[in-house]
Amino acid sequence: MKRLANFWLWFLAAASATAAAADISLWQIGGSGLRWADSDSAQVMIDFTGPNNSIQPVLVSSDTTVFPLLENWSPKKAPDELGFVDGERPRAWKGCCGTSSTVDNALNLIDGNGATYNPVTSNSINSEYYTIDLGVPVPLFRFAMSTPDKGFFRSDGTPLEEDSIPAFEVSIAPDTNNDVLNTSNPIGEVIVEARENVVPKIAADFPLQYVRYVRYKRKNSILDEATNQSSGHSGTARKGTVAEFFLWGEGIPKRATYKTLIFDLGTVVNFGRLFWKATPMRLVNGVAEEAPDANVQIEIEARTGIDSDPDIYYEFTDMGTRVVVEQARYQGVLKNQSAAVTNADGLGGTLTLSTRPKPGLRAGIEYDQENWTFWSFPTTESDQPLNLNRGSYLQVKVVLHSERFDEFVRLDSLWIETSPILASRVVAEVAELGQPNPARGVAEVPLGEMTDFAYDIKAEFAAGEGGFDALRISTGSAQTEFKGLEVDGVATDPAGIEIVDDGFEVQLPQRISSAYNPNLRVTFSAEVFDFARTFEGEVFNSGGTELPQPVESGDVSDAIGTNSLRVLAASAANPQLVQDVQFSSGVITPNGDGVNDELVISYSLFALPQSVPVQLQVFSLDGRRVAQVQRGQQGSGPQQLHWDGRDQRGETLAPGLYLLGVGIEAEDKSALQLRPINIAY
């Protein structure tokens, strides 16, 4: 983890100086800011008892079972509350879906109380299974279960404490997918199973490992058949009663999650960089000590909006159409729509009909894309821009990652820069210059070819908003060429142009404000390396210290008909992800004399939806891979990396001729563009 030890000392001084020089404020949670413990809307395995208003993962100890360490359990696979997100709440459910009924509630079996249990029935044994989702992978080493406490009896007088489960299996998984979760099959590795069990209390140890899911399933046994035969019919409640499941573990969860409430900031603001103070820790003889080299990571996401709820709620009308309703009505009054109803058909049979939508039934929830941003791309380093649109409401999501049972990260506090907006709104739309109104309403261009674009911009102002005099457009192409600027349709020379790494900046000849607010058009040429590329933009003051304001997709005028900043790219062939591999030299001589000690490898990445891990691979002429060196994350577009002739262990390869290629992680050899390279001394 980078910049964790002393960064906050520098940041406090720098942030104070910045705030004094400009109208920039710091929204803070943790430390001297908002209390973590009072500000969460969801959390799993978060410990609020750390020093100085910090959070850290809960330490799992073998002194107690895991269940009490988790809060807000749901007895359903799909909890009833609005906005449920998988992994943000622990669950335990019976059968396919679970229930909150008193007789089949899975929470009865994890409450630590042997007097609460689900009575056995004569229903099919195949339906008797329970799934436990801890929400996050937790280090566990033991599963156990027991029958009820003394004082409870079957109808035939048998004490339930002796009513052992004749046959069962228990399986575990660190994570899974819905294909498995939606079946009654083992959730993963089977850790214990029995076909003829007579022991009331069961315990099964397994190697300490990360476990998120546990599934118990009742199985058929010879003992079940004996019970049915002795009773004379198969309707007798089957043998075996479970009162409690237990899980024991030791160490730090693989991840712990925290999501804040939705905070009202009081006014619409622009957002800048995200900072945090955190401390990597390691358990040494059971005591937590600072450990800068701990293999831990923080992941932060945020979203913002201009109203208090990111969702839109609908009710059916008497005509079967939808109408927007308040959350309180949707949640507290309306009912879920049933899929179908079965009635008698008048001929001795039945007829199943779809239920007609009508008032009083829920018509679904949609995300409010007009007023809310989606969650930002996860940020894993402090001092990074959040790339959020303006907003007056803010929500933050935190994931604390640990790769070892004895290491964790403590998050002390988190800051986000904010400043007043420059305009009420700045909208833009982009199209291919020669196709301003594409047939499908979105610009479509050739993949990886230079294309001319028109980028139209218009601002909206309210009283007191200061305006801007410059704009920045990100194209993702190092070959971007600025073509021209038009102000209300008239070609105008900009006050300045600067080509930056992934786009360009334009200094406008006059400040845009409520008093002077023309339509702007910027034309440029760029390559598109993704199947879908958003030409993000922002406006700012070239001589000021305010935060820039992002440009939003919208309808500027009829001159362009896309209402979007997104461009689609297509290729006649299925493009290789890595293309145009070139070396700075055909020979590398890593002997320290300053000549060809390092090889520069240039290439382009195509059609990647986000940044991916890139690796350099080296093969001997007989096909053996002799080096596989990780080179961090890279996205679509022209890229470079450097190689010093060493393998992943830092050892220099022997002199000779090799084949060298660049690929994304897990890419097979056949997809690499291999080039010969000679190593000499």
CATH number, position 591: 2.60.40.4070
**In-domain check, residue 438:** yes
Residues 415 and 477 in one domain: no
**In-domain check, residue 508:** yes
Helix H or strand E segment including 550: strand 549-550
Measured at the CA of 374, the angle between CA 368 and CA 377, to 5 degrees, comes to 180
Give the mean pLDDT of 565-582: 74
**Residue 655 one-letter amino acid:** P
Domain holding 175: CATH number?
A: 2.60.120.260
Quick check: 62 and 249 in contact, CB under 8 A? yes
**In-domain check, residue 436:** yes
Quick check: 636 and 652 in contact, CB under 8 A? no
Residues 520 and 474 in one domain: yes
pLDDT at 216 over 70: yes
Q: How confident is the model at residue 21 (pLDDT cuts 50, 70, 90)?
A: very low
| Dist CA 169 CA 360 (whole Å) | 44
Residues 538 and 598 in one domain: no
Q: Strand, helix or coil at 449?
A: coil
Residue 6: the pLDDT is: 38
Quick check: 549 and 540 in contact, CB under 8 A? yes
> Which residue is associated with the tokens 């156990």?
144
In the structure, how many helices (H) and strands (E) does the chain have?
4, 44
Give the mean pLDDT of 116-142: 91
Helix H or strand E segment including 642: strand 637-643
Mind listing the pLDDT tens digit for each residue in 33-66? 999 999 999 999 999 999 999 999 999 999 999 9
Quick check: 225 and 144 in contact, CB under 8 A? no
| Dist CA 361 CA 333 (whole Å) | 9
pLDDT at 607 over 90: no
**In-domain check, residue 37:** yes
> Which residue is associated with the tokens 């640990």?
402
Q: How far is CA 542 from the centre of its chain?
A: 35
Mind listing the pLDDT tens digit for each residue in 637-673? 778 888 888 887 778 888 888 888 887 764 444 456 7
| Dist CA 470 CA 540 (whole Å) | 5
> Which residue is associated with the tokens 């009635």?
343
3 state SS for 133-184: EEEEEEEEEEEEEECCCCCCECCCCCEHHHCCCCCEEEEEECCCCHHHHCCC
The last residue of a domain, from among 502, 535, 570: 570
pLDDT at 297 over 60: yes
Measured at the CA of 377, the angle between CA 372 and CA 381, to 5 degrees, comes to 130
Q: Counting beta carbons within 10 angstroms of the beta carbon of residue 97, is it exposed (0 to 12), middle (13 to 18) or buried (19 or more)? A: exposed
The last residue of a domain, from among 249, 273, 298: 249
Domain holding 227, by residue range, is: 67-249
Residues 501 and 387 in one domain: no
- The pTM assigned to this predicted structure is 0.79
Residues 164 and 232 in one domain: yes
Q: Strand, helix or coil at 68?
A: helix
Whose CA is closest to 44, among 138, 181, 107, 131? 138
Measured at the CA of 247, the angle between CA 243 and CA 249, to 5 degrees, comes to 165
Mind listing the pLDDT tens digit for each residue in 350-385? 655 556 678 888 888 888 988 999 899 889 999 999
Tell me the CA distances in angstroms from 292 to 151, 406, 676, one per residue in order. Answer: 55, 14, 40
**In-domain check, residue 1:** no
**In-domain check, residue 302:** yes
Residues 46 and 71 in one domain: no
Residues 447 and 336 in one domain: no
Q: How confident is the model at residue 9 (pLDDT cuts 50, 70, 90)?
A: very low
Domain holding 518: CATH number?
A: 2.60.40.2230
| Dist CA 295 CA 74 (whole Å) | 32
Q: Counting beta carbons within 10 angstroms of the beta carbon of residue 632, is it exposed (0 to 12), middle (13 to 18) or buried (19 or more)? A: exposed
**In-domain check, residue 62:** no
pLDDT at 558 over 60: yes
Residues 274 and 360 in one domain: no
Residues 98 and 221 in one domain: yes
The last residue of a domain, from among 570, 589, 624: 570
**In-domain check, residue 590:** yes
How does the average pLDDT of the chain come out, rounded? 87
Residue 369: the pLDDT is: 87
Whose CA is closest to 273, among 34, 11, 13? 11
Residues 509 and 641 in one domain: no
Q: How confident is the model at residue 154 (pLDDT cuts 50, 70, 90)?
A: confident
Residues 322 and 376 in one domain: no
Residues 290 and 403 in one domain: yes
Q: Is the dihedral of CA 507, 509, 510, 512 positive or negative?
A: negative
Mind listing the pLDDT tens digit for each residue in 394-451? 999 999 999 999 999 999 999 999 999 999 999 999 999 999 999 888 898 988 889 9
pLDDT at 5 over 90: no
Quick check: 92 and 105 in contact, CB under 8 A? no
> Total domain count for the chain?
5
